Amino acid sequence: MLDGLADSIRIVIVGLNNAGKTTILYNLHLGQVVLTQPTIGSNVEEVKHENLTFQVWDLGGQESLRSNWSTYFEEADAIIFVVDSNDQDNMVLAKMELFNVVLHEDLKHACLLVLANKQDIQGSRNSGEIAQDLSLHKILTHEWQIQSCCALTGEGLREGMTWIAGRIRARRGGEVSLPRTQQAVS
């Protein structure tokens, strides 16, 4: 049923600087880790997953660039918000930026995947703790999922993309779905 629609599936990856957004993009695109530098502006790549083709935009997370995120939101089917699970000092800021994103008018129909990245670092907060830190239970306007991941190994990334693919299929295929997902996946 998605024939002809696959090319229009658009995902935007956002999050604070150094959360691992670009590493995630290129792990999804190439299946390997590439050397990255802080993104100034954006990167875009085509990602294939479950017979679907996604146009995935990775946006720079520096404070000076966050005000430009909204220019990429139009027609986004999904938002991936990446959190550095080991950066407890910036969790309040991450929460604020997350809520700025989900409240944006252009994203009212987009599903939200929160990737709790850097799970390979000892002392990182797990997905349940990150869900509490970000007050995900207060997001009632979007379907959402949190997924633990490690951008360097790829662990958890495919599972997150599978969830997004399911949401896109449900929306475009006319299936009835719950208003949101409240699962913490470890």
Positions annotated as catalytic residues are 62
> Is 119 labelled a binding residue?
yes
First to last CA, the chain: 32
What the block records as the tokens of 62 is 């520096």
* Amino acid at site 27: N
> Is 108 labelled a binding residue?
no
> Is 61 labelled a binding residue?
yes
> Is 120 labelled a binding residue?
yes
> Is 39 labelled a binding residue?
yes
> Is 51 labelled a binding residue?
no
Q: CA 162 from chain center: how many Å?
A: 12
> Is 15 labelled a binding residue?
yes
> Is 117 labelled a binding residue?
yes
- Could you tell me whether strands 78-84 and 9-15 are parallel, antiparallel, or unpaired per DSSP bridges? parallel
> Is 170 labelled a binding residue?
no
Contact 167, 177 (CB under 8 A): yes
Q: CA 10 from chain center: how many Å?
A: 12
Q: Which residues are annotated as a binding site for GTP?
A: 15-22, 61, 117-120
Binding site listing = 15-22, 39, 61, 117-120
Q: Residues annotated as binding site for Mg(2+)?
A: 22, 39
